[in-house]
Structure 1
Amino acid sequence: FLEVIPLGAIVLAATTFLDWWMYGSRVIVPLNFLKFNLFSSGGDYYGTHVFHWYFTQGFPSMIWTFLPLSVFGVIKSREWRLSGLIAWVLGVYSILGHKEFRFVLPVLPLALMFSGYFLAAMSQFKGKNLHGKRHFSRLQLSVILLIITNVPMALYMSLFHQRGTEDVMFYLSKEAHNGRVKGVLFLMPCHSTPYYSTLHSSLPMRFLDCTPSDNKGTLDESDRFLMNPLDFVGEVFGNLSSFSHIVLFESEERHVIQLLLHDSFQEVRRFFHSHFKIDRDLQSSVVVYSRRDVL
């Protein structure tokens, strides 16, 4: 504890100075984080979960079949400080109404470390080989189970699941490099794509805003679009001629396709995105429409 305080003070002072320098005013980001997420529950704007979600659903789904090995590793190692740190982080973040997997990702390696410790301990166990018959050890069975339950899922999640929003940006990047993109409108929930980090071109782009409002109950652009796509596009954007490309999910395409065709847009590419839905309607593919005069 005595080591943490000086280090924490140095880091806080350094980051506060950098924030003050970059923002041009005195800003303490950790304090603003506490004000917004804890004291004013600003994060609840993006959705909430029950208080025990990290313990009963969130973290177990992250660690998956390593969970029992981690529990046994904690018990066998008796490293209560490290295991207590995991519980502390999960407990503190459970206070917040808005919960996400990424918030507790830093403690995942610690939990996996306990899994590795228990696997190493199992390797020291010498089971009896009855009647000279060859059989799998507990360690071998555990490793086989981990491979079967994790490797296929890792490959699917990394190579196929929800890849459309990345593929579409690679496509737009190539089109922009060839001078065929003048402006892009993303009619999809905010922050759905990597955006400029993949485009690498200084082009005007617009996505639906989801900035929290001070007035509770006020819908952001993402929510308004999902509630009534056609009316929203006509009300907010009117004439779509300022955009050369429009990107949207297939689930919303059917609501605005007539408007797009009327404004001289046509489908140019369709990218696979997902086999099943997560928290919204099935977003099976990402569709790109382009104005005919830029093809």
Structure 2
Amino acid sequence: MDRIRARVPFRVSGSDTVKLRARKSKLYNNSHQDQPGHGFFGVNVLVLSVIFRLVNCFLVQTSFVPDEYWQSLEISHRMVFKYGYETWEWKEGIRGYSYPLIFALIYKILDLLNYDSVRLLILLPRVLQSLLAAFADAKLYDFVWKLENPEVAKWTYFCQLCSWFTWYCCTRTITNSMETTLTILALCYYPLDGTRLHNSWKYLLLVSLAVVVRPTALIVWFPLLLHHLWHEENKLKLITQQGLPVAALTLLFSTLIDCIFYGKWIFVQWNFLKFNVLHNVGEFYGTHPWHWYLTQGFVVIIGPHLPLFLHGCSLSSKRNRILLFSTVWTLLVYSFLAHKEFRFIYPVLPFCMIFCGLSLVKLHSWRKSAAAALVVLNLIPALYTGLVHQRGVLDVMGHLQHLCDTTELQSSPAPDVLFLMPCHSTPLYSHLHCPIKLRFLECPPDLTESEDYIEEAALFYSDPLHWLRTAFPNKSTLPSHVVIFDLLEKDISAFLDGNMFVKQAEFFHTHVPEGRVGRKILIYRH
């Protein structure tokens, strides 16, 4: 009797069928949302990242460091339009053309289409950097989803978007931003279990590209590479069939690019190592105590995430502990270098976000309060540094763009701008896009190691009036415009008044003037 009943087909009513279909659909949607690529409320992470980083791009209107322009956009502009200025690093061959070449391609396309307006020349490279940063954000989410679980992935992604320093840096055309983006992408293919030999070439290629963009990327990846090698069963195959070929081909390709644009055989990576490590040229641009990264630098860039990071470190598993070791290793290695900057340790910040995500998942009842505090505490420095702090140098260049008008270029005398500011304070031709005469105080380090060497900027600031009277002995040699920080106005007022210079404009720069940098920037016109 039971057998007969078993053969009877199971039947449901019409209403039951609708309920089953609805339940099945709900289960499918929930499982679909838990797949990599779907974040909060099931919104596609990549789409959300692109929108967020484009907003990020337009809300960062300040300057960070000179390298943001002088080691990228200025070089790209010179590569395409054949005029501009190269700093001493390019004359000595310690910088590679691979990174500026990316923006040079954008400039060349705009030039061919006759759309090379200064606005597009400034904006499009940053938009490209923003899109790459957005892709890296989405890949970080996918990586943590596979490494841990969807919940940790969501909160890691949340922490990544909240980070004020990432907001401040990731859309800038600076090598550290590209290095960090490539580091995140490489991490997504990195075998934390040490047994993914067939796919290792992907992360090794991205690591090699990061080293080409900035050779110091090897510091971050050194312990990770050793960790992979230690756990890999077929070590010889990893080295000979993937590691060495990928590194050699990448290095060969970048060297060919450098040789083409330098016009001679050159090995940039060796020159970079020789000048920055063996000759320690970085000391010329300032030194900090050995503990600066541990007591100030890291604390500042991680910001309000610090308590979550420390809590997350205590929760880390054996599998992701190598990321923590790499972070500590990087901080220690950079601590031994005399010249220190916040941006140097930026590539380890995404590693820290993973531990912050682990922390938020474990907080449970405190999670909403912690997340709200994280947003508010990061929003303040993000908006202030992105919209207010150090914006004057860009506003000045925007004002000077009128000198590129046809009437100004054809006027007599032709525009001639003198920047009496700390060297490389402003961008140059990449933000004007016309070949007018621009002069500024130069400050290359002494490569001859002469005891009597004094760079031009230091010579000027030691006696500004004497320097000006020597540089401009008669009125026929005077510039048409002089750009200064307000701190200098009183010191050179005799020169300005005596030569009939009139203040044309002033721009706010910073609330925290320091050294030779003032609160405002002034433009005087002859």
Normalised TM-score (structure 1): 0.86
Residues of 2 paired with 1:140 and 1:237: CA distance? 64
> What's the CA shift string for 1:141-178, capped at 9, x where partnerless?
21232223221121111111111111000000134326
Report SS of the residue matched to 2:490.
Answer: helix
Instruction: Note the C-alpha offset of 1:239.
Output: 4.1
Residues of 2 paired with 1:71 and 1:5: CA distance? 37
Normalised TM-score (structure 2): 0.50
Instruction: Note the C-alpha offset of 1:11.
Output: 2.0
Structure 1 gaps, min length 5 = 126-136
Matched, 1:93 2:334: yes
- Specify the alignment match of 1:273 in structure 2: 509
Instruction: Note the C-alpha offset of 1:118.
Output: 2.2
Q: Which of 381, 402, 420 lines up with 1:174 in the alignment?
A: 402
Bigger CA drift: 161-170 or 86-95? 86-95
Q: Which of 420, 429, 434 lines up with 1:196 in the alignment?
A: 429
- Specify the alignment match of 2:92 in structure 1: none
> What's the CA shift string for 1:79-109, capped at 9, x where partnerless?
1221222222222222221111122222222
Residues of 2 paired with 1:142 and 1:282: CA distance? 37
Given that residues 503 and 523 in structure 2 are in contact (C-alpha distance below 8 angstroms), is that contact kept between their aligned partners in structure 1? yes
Q: Which of 375, 392, 411 lines up with 1:147 in the alignment?
A: 375
Report SS of the residue matched to 1:193.
Answer: coil
- Specify the alignment match of 2:180 in structure 1: none
Bigger CA drift: 38-47 or 16-25? 16-25
Residues of 2 paired with 1:162 and 1:217: CA distance? 34
> What's the CA shift string for 1:167-202, capped at 9, x where partnerless?
000000134326447111100001101222211222
Q: Which of 52, 59, 68 lines up with 2:291 in the alignment?
A: 52
Report SS of the residue matched to 1:9.
Answer: helix
Higher relative contact order (CA 8 A, sep 6+): 2
More helix by share: 2
Residues of 2 paired with 1:6 and 1:94: CA distance? 32
More strand by share: 1
Residues of 1 paired with 2:374 and 2:436: CA distance? 46
Given that residues 403 and 415 in structure 2 are in contact (C-alpha distance below 8 angstroms), is that contact kept between their aligned partners in structure 1? no
Report SS of the residue matched to 1:271.
Answer: strand
Instruction: Note the C-alpha offset of 1:246.
Output: 0.8
- Specify the alignment match of 1:225 in structure 2: 460
Bigger CA drift: 38-47 or 82-91? 82-91
AA in 1 matched with 2:327: I
Q: Which of 476, 497, 500 lines up with 1:261 in the alignment?
A: 497
Residues of 1 paired with 2:273 and 2:521: CA distance? 36
Please show how residues 1-295 of structure 1 align to structure 2 within 5 Å: 1=225, 2=238, 4-78=243-317, 79-122=320-363, 125=364, 137-177=365-405, 179-180=407-408, 182-213=415-446, 214=448, 215-216=450-451, 218-239=453-474, 241-278=477-514, 280-281=515-516, 283-291=518-526
AA in 2 matched with 1:169: M
Instruction: Note the C-alpha offset of 1:121.
Output: 3.7
Residues of 2 paired with 1:265 and 1:253: CA distance? 12
Q: Percent identity?
A: 38
Structure 2 gaps, min length 5 = 1-224, 226-237, 409-413
